[in-house]
Amino acid sequence: MNLLKTINLGLAFLLELALFASLATWGFQQGRTTLTKYLFAIGLTLLGITLWGVFAAPRSAYRLPFAGRLVFEIAFFLIGAWLLYLTGRHTAGLLFAGLALVSVLIAFLYKQ
Runs of H (alpha helix) within 1-112: 2-30, 34-55, 66-86, 90-109
What is the reported pTM? Answer: 0.92
Kindly tell me the sign of the dihedral angle through the C-alpha atoms of 73, 75, 76, 80. positive
Q: Encode pLDDT of 16-66 as tens digits.
A: 999 999 999 999 999 999 999 999 999 999 999 999 999 999 999 999 999
Domain locations in the chain? 2-109
Kindly tell me the sign of the dihedral angle through the C-alpha atoms of 4, 20, 56, 108. negative
DSSP state string for 32-53: SSHHHHHHHHHHHHHHHHHHHH
